[in-house]
Chain A
Amino acid sequence: MRVHTLLMMVCLLLVGFQLQAADPPSKPPELSSIAPGAELWRDVRQRDQDVTGTTQVRSPGADVLINVSGQAWREYRMQELIPLSGAAIAIVLFVILLFRLVRGRIMLENGRSGLRILRFTTNQRVAHWATAILFSILGLTGLTLLLGRSFLIPVFGAEGFGTIAAGAKFLHDYLGPVFVFALTWLFVLFVRDNIPSPKVDLQWLLKGGGLFGKHAHAPRYNAGEKLWFWLASIVGLAVIISGLVLDFPIFGQTRSTMEFYHWVHSIAAIVLIVVSFGHIYMGTAALEATFEVMQTGYCDSNWAKEHHDLWYDEVKDSEEPVPQQQAQPDPGARQSTDSA
């Protein structure tokens, strides 16, 4: 796992540098400077607003003689979005790796109790996994379109990547609207217990979630989870709205509208993706006995006591013994124990 992560990180960083090298600070596209009507063209170009006129052609934007926002958008995409998002992903993965190296896998202090508590209903789990799967597909397809040109074309060739990208675009465009429903569903199911309880949450945060020693009290969801929930909801809303604007170009959206929403969509999505790495790591490999909770819906009593003590106090009456065949340690745990 560590090797993989490392490799990925190096790749991403390299790509980031490559992009930097490949795109020198761009100048306006070179036009003919002694062209007929050159003065007019120059006038027209040296403005910071679109030059519009009239035309008999009816396609959107046809009346714009020079689209000045395109240049800014190009610069944003090529100089900022692609290198920075690449870097951001790399950095987050690096931090996670570092954390892993420093902190290792966090085991249950008291081992498994043999008792379990129902933490997620089936409904909740389905909603979570639906959202998670959609999120992953959208994230991966999105990243394919964003970064694929840089590091997938060398692998698959232009034609091969063209096919992949077409598939990615198709999935992204058709699953995007489904994500809207999944996220809404998730929100409705989880919002109640994610309402902040300032005192506890603040304390939890101050104690660094108990990751580095001192135990931190936490209700059903700790402040970290709540932050993720609200981040996912609010930034997710931005992704959704901007995504819908981009996905349905049938209301005469202008180029600058599209560019603006693309800007929103890309930043929001990268934030979500980057943070989701943390969530994924915490939910899978970071803590013993965590991944199974979303798998089965049940958590070990000791797990509840250690991570969500306030909640455990509320629900401890519902403890029940773990049926034999279900008590499987998660594979991640074994792997990490092996290699650590």
Chain B
Amino acid sequence: MKKLTRTSHDVQQSAPEQATSPVPGALSRRAFLKNSSLMAGGAALATTVSPVMMKKADAAVTSGGKTEEIKTICTHCSVGCGIIAEVQNGVWTGQEPAFDHPFNKGAHCAKGASIREHGHGERRLKYPTKLVDGKWQKISWDQAIDEIGDKLLEIRKTSGPDSVYWLGSAKHSNEQAYLFRKFAAMWGTNNVDHQARICHSTTVAGVANTWGYGAMTNSYNDIHFSKAILMIGSNPTEAHPVALQHIFKAKEENNAPVIVIDPRYTRTAAHANHYLKIRPGTDVAIIWGMMWHIFENNWQDKEFIRQRVYGMADVMKEVKKWNPAEVERVTGVPEAQVYEATKAMADNRPGTFIWCMGGTQHTIGNNNTRAYCAFQLALGNMGVSGGGANIFRGHDNVQGATDLGVLSNTLPGYYGLSAGSWKHWSRVWGLDYEWVKGQFDDGSYEQSKGKDVHVMNTKGIPVSRWIDGVLEDKANIAQKDNLKAMFFWGHAPNSQTRGVEQKKAMDGLEMMVIVDPYPTASAVMPDRKDGIYLLPAATQMETYGSVTASNRSFQWRSKVIDPMFESLPDHTIMYKMAKKLGLDEQLFKNIAVNGEEPLVEDILREINSGMWTIGYTGQSPERLKKHQENWGTFDYDTLKAEGGPANGDFYGLPWPSWGTPEMNHPGTPNLYDTSKSVADGGLTFRARFGVERDGVNLLAEGSFGKDSEIKDGYPEFSDKVLKKLGWWDDLTADEKAAAEGKNWKTDLSGGIQRVAIKHGCSPFGNAKARAMVWTFPDPVPIHREPLYTSRRDLVEKYPTYEDRKSFWRLPTRYKSIQDKDFSKEYPIILTSGRLVEYEGGGDETRSNAWLAELQQDMFVEIHPRDANDAGIKDGDDVWVEGAEASKVKVKAMITRRVGSGVAFMPFHFAGHMQGENLLDKYPEGAAPYVLGEAANTAFTYGYDSVTQMQESKCSLCRITKA
């Protein structure tokens, strides 16, 4: 009850009263001194950063006071802007710009600038709640955990562990994400996943299979060195606004041309020098069209390709087909524009290549991402500062949650699901591998090379398809039974396509558990009378831990306020749940638990001890806290600390930070950069795909990192390689014991990594990037028309894939959909995207009055021509009916932002369903201020051929006046 008193009401009332002296007064002296010193030292930044102080403080300066300044990180996107919260007597009273934060220099977008609303939390889910007879009923935590646990155990008995789906979140801290993944493993299932599946899974797969790691290669700050900037399917002005601070710096100071390729004339395009308006879903075509000019004009970096790229010849063969006429026929972009844009990239190197969900969310998403990689490889833009594949991730910790394996196809650190991986992690967890295996269903439902594969080693159902895990005929699913219970642990259902079927799936479940600071649309979509539990989770402002920004930097978040109302931090809820299920002993074997709260630092230490693959090992809690405390000492351009306690480190120890924390690796600011020694953050392309294929050398040729003692390509390091090189004796006796029979990924002492780096080598080898991924359905990326295409004339030449019987445990359709012509009935291409005011499913941001006021209506952008044809006027209510006949009622916004024949909807809204307002179904006082139709209700079937990414950027619809 005590916690309940800290309502927003109280905050609003108390803040002004306390304002008399402590609120602003206490700050003055310190803040003033700090700011003015920054001003003096920051003259060089003046052109970029607004002057902080121009005027002497003339107010009376009071000393002391109870205002605390707490440093934390914005929770709304992967830029990772620093925040300074002012807290007084436990109430969040103010927010100051973090001028000395290396990512944002105090800047924010609308979301970060209003984040103090977390301290009001008026529309939060306030206590554990259960649906009884169609009504929400407040219950205690104990009752909730008890009832949920009993039901889980019952399902486990009747249907097996795979019938419970653990849907995690990119909003978790690293520690929570890791714990969540581990929890699912202890429960005994691979049916665990999170938003990365539907945001950048095709990037991770495409990029990791090209050069080794599936992450943004450089950083936002590194764009300062770019001479050209290309953005495709990316609208950072709305999705990553602070990124524009860095982009403008390059644009203004380096005269870097900005090229935007997008079906919409986005706010980003408005600031571009070149804008190419493509038809949605033609990314491969436009990129090959650009590369046609590169090869035609011999602009490619031949030496770079010779040394560091495999398979470019195959790409060239495919690119040959994409002459300007064909490119214009498929994408709609005339030759001159393509040529100009390409020339701008070729003339201005290094250039960076930025992409987001406009490229990833397609049935051929993995082709798109690999085409982008090939483009950068051709121009030799990889592994250099100012170049790189700057893939802007979405949620604040989607990079971390991905790295920590909250995915149905891997364990933490991309170790995969093989027996060896399970053994590695069992070792880290201090558990018996057989016990872990015993937690799983003992069946086998898939075969590989003619042999049965244990369910523990097969990929689980991806989140994009959980619906089908419920609705599909049991006989067609490669697991024991259908899904019976769903955990939505920080997930908004409206970010997923096929809304109407999703509702049906929700109705079909036996139990839904929603763990979230807000009820989310999951609470109101289904027509259930019971079987829904809402558990109030604390936000990241109410707990602490680390978060990985898009550029792989770790940032430490401090706790700003205590959890509001009856909410609890996610890891505490996990502890309660584990205890009920009898898994607490295993789950927390190496982790201290205070009361019911597991110690965050211990979780991070366990992460450090196991994540060798991607260098999550050097970022100890102590080092991260040191970085947080001294974030002002890191350089705005290079992210390197000059002097100070973190001298020489790169901000946030961007992974890989090799070896043990004691090794003090500074982190790797730019991946694959051979101009630096590995010990100083340099790297080569990873030798991940063998050393040779069909007689062709896959290792780098004549290219190696600075200080490398091996002056050529080399394979990944293992005990054997060390011995062969004669470096074995560089290991200490202890390291030798640990390293025997192990490789750089599994040697828990870190010795192998240490020695490789000592000799200037990348632990993971030095190979070529592959422009041709022979393990994928399309080794060289090719264009394929979307399932729901309006260009029937192109289907024959660019058909989609054949249907698949069992793909990630489920039948998956391609051709059978594309074969049918929907374009007559549904003539308009439908695409979707973001608004700056909202994030993701939007429950949190639509519950923030300061943001919600700025976007009150769900809308659809329609080109004037289409609007006139349909007799629609600006502001009219219209029905947008998707090709699978589900429809949404939204406001028409008539604009030339979209091309004729294309319509766009933002995807953050929820709370209406096919014209029906679900406001009454929210628990009292917990409905967001703004409700609206979910765009994804109208979006249709379609999944990537490698990762099951959903197709939410290209479908068909019909728009009529409502």
Chain A residues within 8 Å of B837, by CB: 56
Contacts of A56 in B (CB 8 A): 837, 854-855
Please report which residues of chain A, range 19-60, place their CB below 8 angstroms from some CB of chain B when the two chains form the complex: 56-58
Chain A contact residues: over half helix, strand or loop, or mixed?
A: loop
CB distance from A59 to the nearest CB of B (A): 10
Which size class do B's interface residues fall under?
A: under 10
Interfacial residues of chain A within 53-70, with CB under 8 A of chain B in the complex: 56-58
- Tell me the minimal C-beta distance from A37 to chain B in angstroms: 13
Chain A residues in 8 Å Cβ range of B854: 56-57
Report the nearest A residue to B836, measured CB to CB.
A56
Would you list which residues of chain B between 323 and 339 have a CB under 8 Å from chain A?
none
Residues of A within 8 Å of B, CB-based: how many? 3
In residues 841-897 of chain B, which contact A (Cβ within 8 Å)? 853-856
In the bound assembly, the distance between CA atoms of A57 and B850 in angstroms comes to 11
Contacts of A57 in B (CB 8 A): 853-854
A58 to B854 CA separation, bound complex (whole angstroms): 8
Closest to B855 in A: A56
In Å, the complex CA distance between A57 and B837 comes to: 12
A58, B856: Cα distance in complex, Å: 9
In the bound complex, CA of A58 to CA of B852 (Å): 12
B853: A residues at CB distance < 8 A: 57-58
Residue of B nearest to A55 (CB): B854
A56-B837 Cα distance, complex, nearest whole Å = 10
Contacts of A58 in B (CB 8 A): 853, 856
The minimal Cβ–Cβ distance linking B411 to chain A, given in whole angstroms, is 44
Q: How far is the CB of A151 from chain B (nearest CB, A)?
A: 36
A56 to B855, CA, bound (A): 7
- Assembly CA distance A42 to B257 (angstroms): 27
Q: Which residue of A lies closest to B851 (CB)?
A: A56
Please give, as numbers and ranges, the residues of chain A lying within 8 Å of B855 by CB-CB distance. 56
Which chain A residue shows the least CB distance to B110? A56
State the CA gap A57–B854 with chains docked (Å): 6
**Nearest chain B CB to A26's CB is how many angstroms away?**
29
Q: Closest approach, in angstroms, between the C-beta of B856 and any C-beta of chain A?
A: 7
> Which residue of chain B is the closest to A57 with respect to CB atoms?
B854
Q: How far is the CA of A307 from the CA of B73 in the complex (A)?
A: 89
**How far does the alpha carbon of A138 sit from the alpha carbon of B856 in the complex, in Å?**
41
Q: How far is the CA of A57 from the CA of B852 in the complex (A)?
A: 11
Q: Considering only CB atoms, which chain B residue lies closest to A56 in the complex?
A: B854
Distance of A278 Cα from B837 Cα, bound (Å) = 62
Shortest distance in angstroms between A95's beta carbon and chain B's nearest beta carbon?
A: 56
Instruction: Tell me the complex Cα distance, A56–B853, Å.
Output: 8
Alpha-carbon gap, A57 to B853, bound state (A):
8
Q: How many Å lie between the Cα of A58 and that of B875 in the bound state?
A: 14
Give, as a whole number of angstroms, the nearest-CB distance from A55 to chain B: 9
A2 to B394: give the CA distance in the assembly, Å. 82
Q: Give the complex CA separation of A56 and B850 in angstroms.
A: 12
Q: Mark B581-612, 1 if CB is under 8 A from A, else 0.
A: 00000000000000000000000000000000
CB distance from B15 to the nearest CB of A (A): 24
Report the Cα distance A58→B930, complex, angstroms: 14
Q: Closest approach, in angstroms, between the C-beta of A52 and any C-beta of chain B?
A: 14
Give A215 to B837 CA distance when docked, in angstroms: 80
Residues 306-332 of A, flagged 1 when their CB comes within 8 A of B and 0 if not, give 000000000000000000000000000
User: In whole angstroms, how far apart are the Cα atoms of A56 and B852 in the complex?
Assistant: 10
Q: How far is the CA of A56 from the CA of B930 in the complex (A)?
A: 14
Measured between C-beta atoms, what is the minimum distance from A310 to chain B in Å? Answer: 63
Q: Report the Cα distance A7→B816, complex, angstroms.
A: 97
Complex CA gap A58/B855 in Å reads 10
B891 shortest CB reach to chain A, Å: 13
Shortest Cβ distance from B837 into A: residue: A56
CB distance from A179 to the nearest CB of B (A): 38
CB interface residues, B 818-842, toward A, < 8 Å: 837
- Chain A residue at minimum C-beta to C-beta distance from B895: A54
Within the complex, what minimum Cβ distance (angstroms) separates A205 from chain B? Answer: 57
Q: How far is the CB of B212 from chain A (nearest CB, A)?
A: 42
Smallest CB separation, A161 vs chain B (Å): 29
Compute how far the CA of A56 lies from the CA of B110 in the bound complex, rounded to whole angstroms.
12
The residue of chain A having its C-beta at the shortest distance from the C-beta of B856 within the complex is A58
CA distance A56 to B109 in the complex (A): 14
Report the bound CA distance from A58 to B857 in whole Å: 12
Distance in angstroms between the alpha carbons of A56 and B856 in the assembled complex: 9
Q: Tell me the smallest distance from the CB of A57 to a CB of chain B, in Å.
A: 7
CB distance from A60 to the nearest CB of B (A): 15
CB interface residues, A 66-85, toward B, < 8 Å: none
Complex Cα spacing A57 to B856, Å? 10
**CB neighbours of B856 from chain A (8 A):** 58
How distant is the Cα of A56 from the Cα of B906 in the complex, in angstroms? 15
Q: How far is the CA of A171 from the CA of B231 in the complex (A)?
A: 61
**Could you tell me the distance in whole angstroms from the C-beta of B238 to the nearest C-beta in chain A?**
12
A242 nearest CB across to chain B (Å): 29
Taken together as a complex, chains A and B put the C-alpha atoms of A145 and B328 apart, in Å, by 67
Alpha-carbon gap, A39 to B100, bound state (A)? 32
* Distance to closest chain A CB from B747 (angstroms): 54
Q: CA A294 – CA B856 in complex, angstroms?
A: 59
CA distance A198 to B855 in the complex (A): 64
A106 to B196 CA separation, bound complex (whole angstroms) = 97
The chain A residue sitting closest to B854, CB to CB, is A56
- A252 shortest CB reach to chain B, Å: 14
Q: How far in angstroms is the closest Cβ of chain B from A227?
A: 50
Distance (whole angstroms) from the CB of B506 to the closest CB of chain A: 33
Task: Please provide the chain B residues from 531 to 549 with a CB less than 8 Å away from any CB of chain A in the complex.
Answer: none
Q: For residue B871, give the distance in angstroms from its CB to the closest CB of chain A.
A: 23
How far apart sit A105 and B855, CA to CA, in the bound complex (Å)? 71
CA distance A3 to B81 in the complex (A): 74
Q: For the complex, give the distance between the alpha carbons of A56 and B854 in Å.
A: 5
Interface positions, chain B 185-227, Cβ under 8 Å from A, are none
Distance of B190 from chain A, by nearest CB (Å):
43
A156 to B855 CA separation, bound complex (whole angstroms)? 47
Closest residue of A by beta carbon distance from B835: A56
A14 to B856, CA, bound (A): 53
How far is the CB of A311 from the nearest CB of chain B, in Å? 62
Interface residue ranges of A242-300 to B (CB < 8 Å): none
Q: With the chains together, A57 CA to B855 CA distance in Å?
A: 9
Give chain A nearest CB distance to B497 CB in angstroms: 27
CB distance from A135 to the nearest CB of B (A): 43
**Residues A86-100 near B (CB distance < 8 A):** none
Q: How far is the CA of A146 from the CA of B853 in the complex (A)?
A: 36
Residues of A participating in the B interface, judged by any CB pair closer than 8 Å: 56-58
Complex A-B: 7 CB contacts under 8 Å: A56-B837, A56-B854, A56-B855, A57-B853, A57-B854, A58-B853, A58-B856
Top 7 A-B pairs ranked by shortest CB distance?
A: A56-B854, A56-B855, A57-B854, A58-B856, A56-B837, A58-B853, A57-B853
